Each structure stands twice: as C-alpha cells, then as structure tokens.
Amino acid sequence: MIGAGLIFVGLLLQFSAGGIDWSAFSYPVNAILLCLFVVVAAVLFLLRGKSYAIRFLSSYGSAVACLVYAVALTVVMGLTRQVPAGMPSQDVLGLTRMLGFWPFVLIYVWMALILSQVVLLSLKGLAWKRLPVFLFHLGLLVVLLCASLGSADMQRLKMTVGKDTPEWRALDDMGKIHELPVAIQLLDFNIEEYPSKLLLVDNDSGSVVRTDNLMGWRVQILKKMEESAPMMTRDTTYYMTWRQPGNVRAWLVRATSPDGKTLRQGWVTCGSYRFPMQLLKVNAQYSIAMAEPEPMRYTSHVQILTQSGKNIITSIEVNHPFSVDGWRIYQYSYDEKMGRWSEISVLELVRDPWLPVVYFGIFLLALGAVGFFFSSPWRSGGQASVQS
C-alpha cells in the first residue's frame, strides 16, 4: 500500500508539475538536500520507539515491498529507450526519461530511507560480526544518494580543437557554449588503420553484394601502393607514388571469373577527400571495389593549459583518457571526411566532482561483501544468524 501510494502521488506530480529537472539540483542545492536527508533520517531514528509506522519503515516487510517496486520500475527503464540527459521525455507518462519520473524517484527515496534506518540500527549495536552488515548498507546508501544528487553537477562537453590556437570553449548536448578553465591545442593527429578489403558492388545501385568470396571471382593483387595519386593519359589511368595529403591507397588487381573465361585487370582505390574512388568493372552487373579502411586507433597529441598554471603535452586516444584539474579528457571523434589528414580532433571532457564519493561507497560495498563471505555459516562450520 505504501508503494502504491507513492506511485499514485508520483503520477499526480508527473502530470501536474512535469518530470524532475536534475540540473536544478546542482551545487549547493544538492548538498543542502543531502544534509536535510541526514537530519530527517536521524529524527526518524530517534522517534522510532514512539511510532510503529517508523519502526515498520526498517522492517523486512517494508524492505521487500520496496525492492519489488524498485526492481519493477528498473525493468521498465531497461525495456524503454531512454532519451539523453537534458532532453524532454518522448512519451506522455515520462517513461523514456525514467531518472526524472516522479514515481521512480519516490520509490528510490523510500529505499534510501530504509537503508538509512538499517545503517543507524547497525551502528547502534555495532560489533565485529555486524560490521559487514553496516559497511554493506552504508556503501549502498552512499552510492544511491551521491550518484543521484551528484548527477546534477556532472558536466559532459564536446570540444573541437585545431592546430591554429588553443580552444577553451566546449558545447553541451543542448548546444550551449561553456567556457572552461582548461585550454587545449592540437599538435598532431594520427590514425592507424586496419588493412583494406576488396568487395563486390552492384553497378546500378552501388550497394555491396559480397565481401567474402566475391561470388566466385578470383582476385590476384599484382601491385600495392599505400601512398599514391592517379595519373591520367588519353586512354588509361595509372598510379604513381605521392606522399602529399589526400593520397590514396591503390591496388593493381587481376580478376578471373568463376568459369575462368573472363579476365579483368585494373586499379582499385578507396578514394580520399581529394580523389574519387576507382572501381574495376568485371561485367555488366558487378564491379570490384576497395572498402574504406576502418580506423584501428586514433590519437591526438595535444598541449593542455590550465588556469592553475599547468602546461602539459600529452597524447589522448580512445579508452585512454587524460585527467587534469578534475576533468577527464577522452578522444571522441575527428573530421571523418578528411580521414587520416584531419586537421581537427573532437574531445569529450567530463567532470563529476561527486565521483570519488561514489567510488568510496562502492569500496564500502565491496568490503561488506568480503566480510559476508568470511563470516558466512559454511565457513565457520556452524549456524549463523544475521538480522538487518
């Protein structure tokens, strides 16, 4: 009944006031709310001896019912396509922005209140055998509160940097410009690519037909040129070495039809921003083409300047971010049209000041779980009873 009541009240708030805008809870509002929650939890604990309703809050019945509602709403969240943070919900109820859905938030507030009472109860009669229970629930409470309240202070921005001048402005998901205490200038950009592949394309539609056995056509590569440019004569086109930006990867190939009766020979390239791709037409229906090489690794060599006086030269690549003054800088993208000759790099800058506290909560969770393992009945060889 408590859970159903919270769902009902949440729906009334959802339809009357709209979903929760977590950006309105940025510091110091979230810090004030956290202190207020601690005060409320302490008052409830002090009054639990005088009120059955408050004692019921920390009971098994309350905890199990709360978990059922929380799991059900979390499953709905997992099955519903969620919109990015800051975007309006795409449905009438607000299920596509579940983190701002009032019933979802109220159920998790209920869970946080239960956890707070369990933590205070464990602290009241704390002993070594009760320590894992205390650490586990305290860690879960810290993660639940700080991850939700701290999300209002998290910034996730995109910065496009070039070689001309340092850049200190970045854009959020809504296109708003933010001036940062960190300036970045691109020194060099490098891409390592996977080997190119040959594929069969339809002459009329240009769509890829086969990429594995080329429908029986046997292809022999006669010559490979990794950096080249086309040279055109009156009746043919050939390729010569050219190590300037915009060069192409060119292969001289010989294709034999499945029945061995048709033989075609010519150049194929994947093209670049400067030169178009070249195909080898094998019959009226198909042509052999070279696929665009897929990037295996791309790295930005950058110079980072901060308001605190730091001057750092480092490299940033995918899955290897760099941290400075509370910001984590990730390699995000580049000018895909220019490819490996890109003159810009797109970086993602993330700042989450509450993240160390969340990590501390996860550490407490893990510590409590390890304590449960070593104090379990099967390890002690007897019966054990843990009441929380």
pLDDT at residue number 64: 92
Q: CA 238 to CA 261: how far, in whole Å?
A: 25
Least confident range of 109-118, 350-359, 377-386: 377-386
Over residues 280-294, mean pLDDT: 88
Contact at 8 Å (CB) between 331 and 345? Answer: yes
Give per-residue pLDDT as tens, 173-190. Answer: 878 899 999 999 999 999
pLDDT at residue number 86: 66
Higher pLDDT, 192 or 212: 192
pLDDT at residue number 384: 40
User: Per residue, what are the HEC states of the chain?
Assistant: CHHHHHHHHHHHHHHHHCCCCHHHHCCCHHHHHHHHHHHHHHHHHHHCCCCHHHHHHCCHHHHHHHHHHHHHHHHHHHHCCCCCCCCCCCCCCCHHHHHHCHHHHHHHHHHHHHHHHHHHHHHHCCCHHHHHHHHHHHHHHHHHHHHHHHHHHCEEEEEEEECCCCEEEEECCCCCEEEEEEEEEEEEEEEEECCCCEEEEECCCCCEEECCCHHHCEEEEEEEEEEEEEEECCCCEEEEECCCCCCEEEEEEEEECCCCCCEEEEEEECCCCCCCCECEECCCCEEEEECCCCEEEEEEEEEEEECCCCEEEEEEECCECEEECCEEEEEEEECCCCHHHCCEEEEEEEECCCHHHHHHHHHHHHHHHHHHHHCCHHHHCCCCCCCC
Over residues 379-383, mean pLDDT: 48
Over residues 107-116, mean pLDDT: 92
150-175 burial: b if 16+ Cβ within 10 Å, else e? bbbbbbbbbbbbbeeeebbebeeeee
> Does position 30 have pLDDT exceeding 80, yes or no?
yes
Contact at 8 Å (CB) between 42 and 119? Answer: no
pLDDT at residue number 382: 46
> Does position 314 have pLDDT exceeding 90, yes or no?
yes
Over residues 276-296, mean pLDDT: 88
Give per-residue pLDDT as tens, 224-241. Answer: 998 899 988 777 888 899
| Six token digits for residue 128 | 């070594």
Q: CA 288 to CA 64: how far, in whole Å?
A: 63
Q: CA 109 to CA 148: how far, in whole Å?
A: 10
pLDDT at residue number 388: 41
Bond from prior residue into 103 cis (ω within 30 degrees of 0): no
Residue that is written with structure tokens 């490299």 in the block: 315
- Range 90-99 contact pairs with CB under 8 angstroms and sequence separation of 24 or more: 93/11, 93/14, 94/14, 94/19, 97/19, 98/73, 99/20, 99/22, 99/148, 99/151
- pLDDT bin (cut points 50, 70, 90) of residue 89 is confident
